[in-house]
């Protein structure tokens, strides 16, 4: 029940509305229970079985006092106005009680509607915010479609299965308790007689409810797989069509969809069993009650009108019990979805917990090992002072993506002084992009440490740390929004003049001005309405506007044609002017002017130096240059 308690905890944000809803539910239950004894005098007047009552009690301390009070007034009504008018008065009281009951029932629903929708909004916001805060390593293990399913269908299931029945959870127990109290006052024996079967009904319903919760979790898992498969297929349509794999993909989806259907049918069978089962047990109880109660009426132990009121009270227990049992089924069904949501919400964020406590692992004290098959290449000391006091420094950094996975980086020592350009080159899989990802702490090193201005990156809070960096990657990440909003992207207080200035530096202003709505033109999903070069220049404009201290350029021109590359390269040169930059490049012609070039192989540094020094050495870098014909 911890999931349910957590969900109920969200009610604290809506105390006023919840209080009004609870008061309305209490009044609904009150007028429901009050209507029950009104049927006894109605039946007694109708069948002319009213007994004359000479006086009213001074206080109403028991059900007998209430009967005497009602009998006294009914006697006076019959005496003064006749049976028909007295019957009309009783009918009016019954009508008034039901009017008030239904009025407060509607008010309870009215007050709970914004509470239900508000809790779902809060839950989605919490889930989305937590997903954005989790490190990239989490998303390498989770399927994107499964996460999309949790924030859409799972959260919606929580609303329809749990929050939609909160009124029943608050109201029906009160009606049941009030009706049972009346039944006990009328006849403890009859109440005890039917109570045993009600316990039996509860046990049966509870057993089915547990199975329903388990089945619901399986159904939501399958639905998550369907969403994930659909998302993957839509993202890979070009490959599916080019390999003529439409039938294959459709077959796999159909099999997955059929598995979902089978599990859903079983879930619906169990859910739909609740109402007929509860109704049958209720009718069986009523039949036994009629048989047993009529014997008490025949023996004179119970008045006929009182017995009919007892039956009505029992009906008022059965109907709320049916609603409550259905609500319980729905809650059990929704708990499976809520637990899937919680599995994301409760995922810890190691980035928030990580606090630097000095060098880690192999970096603590001993000098790193040299790379296999060669000498260790020592990093230079930054200009102007002791190593590590300014700029960026890697000290014995090692990294694995998983605890038992292979080493992606080993014994990395780098120094990137302020205002200098450091280029990383090497074959794919050598660790270049991993080094770039460690700087803004998309991941943390598993050994060694990284310093920014003499402080371990883990000593910075994440927003402050990441404000130092601007990233332009090979894939231009843009959003289905206007050009203006994609350039500004989260920066407050930016003027249109600054946006235009950034676009001019990035060689983007001309094509933006030629767009149908200028800077307010929508660029489509992931910038689909733009060319590759245009998309890349927008990301450069975004980086220029951020005015970062350190630039990370991850193969920013490798996917462009010659003309686009020329424009983008020119924009990058403007962006890099006077800044510290870490550049990853496959095209070696773009990094010849770097202050230092570091060559990586299988996660280790094998060469370092300027373009001229590395060419003169004739090693790995020289072979790469020769292959590219630079």
pLDDT in tens, 576-597: 777 888 988 777 777 888 899 9
What percentage of the chain reaches a pLDDT higher than 90?
12
341, 484: one domain: no
Q: Read off the DSSP letter of residue 56.
A: -
pLDDT, residue 287, reads 77
H or E element in which residue 43 lies: helix 39-46
Q: Is residue 440 part of a domain?
A: no
Positions of E strands within 401-457: 407-416, 421-426, 447-452, 455-456
How confident is the model at residue 368, as a pLDDT?
Answer: 38
**Quick one: pLDDT at residue 378?**
44
Would the CA dihedral through 341, 346, 352, 356 be positive or negative? negative
Of the two residues 345 and 587, the one the predictor is more confident about is 345
Q: Are strands 469-473 and 550-554 parallel, antiparallel or unpaired?
A: parallel
Domain boundary among 301, 326, 346: 346
pLDDT at residue 60, rounded to an integer: 57
Q: What percent of the chain has pLDDT over 70?
A: 76
Tokens of 443: 């991941």
Nearest to 596 by CA among 459, 421, 462, 449: 421
Q: Specify which residues 596 forms β-bridges with.
A: 422
Is 125 or 239 the better-scoring residue by pLDDT?
A: 125
- With b for 16 or more beta-carbon neighbours within 10 A and e for fewer, the 384-411 pattern comes to eeebbebbbbbbbbbbbeeeeeebbbbb
Contact 44, 114 (CB under 8 A): no
68 vs 54: CA distance, rounded Å? 9
Contacts of 383 (CB under 8 A, 6+ apart): 417
Quick check: helix, strand or coil at residue 449?
strand
Instruction: Please spell the DSSP secondary structure of 293-355, one letter per residue.
Output: HHHHHHHTSS-HHHHHHHHHHHHHHHHHHHHHHHHHHHHHHHHHHHHHHHHHHT---HHHH--
What's residue 413's pLDDT? Answer: 93
Q: Share the mean pLDDT of the chain.
A: 77
Is 114 within the bounds of a domain?
yes
Stretch 125-148: mean pLDDT: 81
Q: pLDDT confidence of 249, banded at 50, 70, 90?
A: confident
Mean pLDDT of 464-484: 86
Report the half-sphere exposure of 531 (CA within 13 A, side-chain side).
13
Q: Are residues 67 and 211 in the same domain?
A: yes
Domain shared by 342 and 479, yes or no: no
Residue 361 within a domain = no
Rounded distance between C-alpha atoms, residue 607 and residue 254, angstroms: 53
Q: Provide the residue range defining the domain that includes 139.
A: 2-346
pLDDT band at residue 438 using 50, 70 and 90 as cut-offs: very high
As for how many domains the chain has, the answer is: 2
* Confidence band for 175, pLDDT divided at 50, 70 and 90: confident
pLDDT tens digit sequence for 55-74: 666 665 555 555 556 666 66
Say what the pLDDT of residue 210 is. 61
CA gap 329, 110 in Å, rounded = 23
- Rounded mean pLDDT of 510-522? 91
Q: How far is CA 438 from the centre of its chain?
A: 27
208 or 525: whose pLDDT is higher?
525
Q: Alpha carbon 75 to chain centroid distance?
A: 64
- Render pLDDT for 347-402 as a digit per residue (tens, 0 to 9): 887 776 554 343 443 333 333 333 333 334 444 444 444 444 568 999 999 999 88
In a domain, 37, yes or no: yes
8 A C-beta contact, residue 332 and residue 183: no
How far is C-alpha 174 from the chain's CA centre? 33
Confidence of residue 203 (pLDDT cuts 50, 70, 90): low
State residue 374's pLDDT score.
38
Q: Tokens in use for 497?
A: 């003049």
Residue 56's domain is classified under what CATH number? 1.20.1560.10
Question: Among candidates 503, 461, 466, 460, which has minimal Cα distance to 482?
Answer: 503
* Beta-sheet strand order (sheet of 604-609): 469-473, 550-554, 580-584, 421-426, 596-601, 604-609
Regarding whether 101 and 247 lie in a shared domain, the answer is yes
Determine contact, residues 197/324, Cβ cutoff 8 Å. no
CA distance 465 to 441: 8
- Cα–Cα distances (Å) from 78 to 41, 51, 66, 511, in that order, read 12, 11, 18, 93
Domain boundary at 518, 547, 576, which?
547
CATH of the domain at 482: 3.40.50.300
The answer, as to whether pTM is greater than 0.75, is: no
Q: Has residue 191 been placed in a domain?
A: yes
Where among 285, 311, 346 does a domain terminate? 346
Which strands make up the sheet holding 455-456, listed edge to edge?
A: 407-416, 392-400, 447-452, 455-456
Q: Are the beta carbons of 13 and 118 closer than 8 angstroms? A: yes
Is the pLDDT at 25 greater than 50? The verdict is: yes
For residues 58 and 199, membership in a common domain is answered with yes
Q: Decide: helix, strand or coil at residue 538.
A: helix
d(CA 358, CA 114): 51
Q: Taking a C-beta distance cutoff of 8 angstroms, is the pair 217, 150 a contact? A: no
Question: Residue 429 domain-assigned?
Answer: no
Residue 353 inside a domain? The answer is no
Which tokens in the block code for residue 91?
A: 């009918």
598 in a structural domain: no
**For residue range 270-297, what is the model confidence (pLDDT) as tens digits?**
777 766 776 676 677 777 777 877 877 7
Instruction: Examine the pLDDT at 562 and tell me if it is beyond 50.
Output: yes
> Is residue 404's pLDDT more than 90?
no
Q: How far apart are CA 447 and CA 395, in angstroms?
A: 9
Distance in angstroms (rounded) separating the CA atoms of residues 36 and 13: 37
In the beta sheet, which residues pair with residue 471? 552
Q: Is the pLDDT of residue 444 over 60?
A: yes
DSSP secondary structure code for residue 473 in this structure? E
Q: With the C-alpha atoms ordered 502, 506, 509, 514, is the resulting torsion angle positive or negative? A: negative
pLDDT of residue 414: 92
């Amino acid at each position: 029940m911890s999931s349910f308690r957590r969900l109920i905890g969200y009610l604290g944000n809506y105390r006023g509305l919840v209080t009004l809803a609870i008061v309305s539910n209490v009044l609904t239950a009150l007028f429901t229970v009050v209507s029950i004894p009104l049927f006894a005098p109605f039946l007694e007047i109708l069948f002319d079985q009213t007994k004359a009552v000479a006086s009213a009690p001074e206080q109403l301390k028991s059900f007998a006092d209430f009967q005497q009070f009602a009998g006294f007034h009914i006697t006076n009504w019959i005496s003064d106005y006749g049976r028909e008018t007295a019957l009309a008065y009783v009918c009016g009281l019954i009508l008034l009680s039901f009017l008030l009951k239904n009025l407060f029932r509607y008010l309870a629903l009215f007050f709970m509607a914004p509470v239900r929708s508000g809790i779902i909004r809060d839950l989605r916001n919490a889930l989305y915010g937590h997903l954005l805060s989790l490190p990239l390593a989490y998303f390498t293990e989770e399927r994107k479609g499964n996460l999309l399913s949790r924030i859409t269908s799972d959260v919606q299931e929580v609303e329809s299965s749990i929050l939609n029945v909160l009124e029943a959870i608050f109201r029906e127990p009160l009606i049941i308790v009030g009706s049972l109290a009346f039944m006990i006052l009328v006849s403890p024996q009859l109440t005890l007689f039917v109570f045993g079967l009600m316990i039996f009904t509860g046990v049966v319903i509870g057993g089915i409810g547990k199975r329903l919760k388990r089945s619901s979790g399986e159904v939501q898992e399958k639905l998550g797989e369907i969403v994930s498969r659909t998302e993957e297929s839509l993202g890979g349509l070009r490959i599916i069509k080019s390999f003529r794999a439409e039938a294959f993909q459709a077959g796999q989806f159909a099999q997955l969809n059929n598995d979902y259907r089978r599990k859903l049918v079983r879930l619906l069978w169990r859910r739909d069993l609740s109402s007929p089962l509860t109704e049958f047990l209720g009718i069986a109880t009523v039949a036994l009650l009629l048989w047993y109660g009529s014997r008490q009426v025949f023996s004179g132990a119970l008045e006929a009108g009182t017995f009919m009121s007892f039956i009505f009270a029992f009906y008022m227990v059965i109907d709320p019990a049916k609603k409550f049992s259905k609500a319980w089924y729905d809650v059990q069904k929704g708990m499976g979805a809520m637990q899937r949501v919680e599995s994301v919400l409760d995922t810890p964020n190691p980035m928030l917990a990580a606090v630097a406590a000095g060098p880690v692992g192999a970096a603590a004290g001993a000098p790193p090992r040299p790379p296999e098959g060669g000498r260790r290449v020592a990093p230079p000391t930054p200009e102007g002072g002791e190593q590590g006091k300014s700029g960026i420094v890697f000290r014995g950094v090692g990294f694995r993506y998983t605890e038992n996975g292979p080493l992606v980086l080993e014994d990395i020592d780098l120094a990137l002084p302020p205002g200098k350009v450091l280029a990383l080159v090497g074959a794919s899989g050598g660790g270049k992009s991993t080094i770039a990802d460690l700087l803004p702490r998309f991941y943390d090193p598993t050994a060694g440490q990284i310093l920014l201005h003499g402080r371990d990156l883990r000593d910075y809070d994440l927003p402050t740390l990441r404000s130092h960096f601007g990233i332009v990657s090979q894939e231009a990440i843009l959003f289905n929004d206007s050009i203006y909003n994609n350039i500004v992207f989260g920066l407050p207080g930016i003027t249109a003049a600054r946006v235009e200035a950034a676009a001019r530096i990035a060689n983007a202003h001309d094509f933006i001005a030629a767009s149908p709505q200028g800077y307010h033109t929508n660029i489509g999903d992931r910038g689909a309405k733009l060319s590759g070069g245009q998309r890349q220049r927008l990301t450069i404009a975004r980086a220029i506007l951020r005015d970062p201290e350190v630039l990370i350029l991850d193969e920013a021109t490798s996917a462009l044609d010659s003309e686009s590359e020329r424009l983008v390269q020119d924009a990058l040169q403007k962006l890099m002017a006077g800044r510290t930059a870490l550049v990853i490049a496959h095209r070696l012609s773009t990094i010849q002017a770097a202050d230092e070039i570091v060559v990586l192989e299988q996660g280790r540094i094998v060469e370092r130096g300027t373009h001229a020094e590395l060419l003169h050495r004739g090693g790995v870098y020289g072979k790469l240059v020769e292959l590219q014909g630079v």
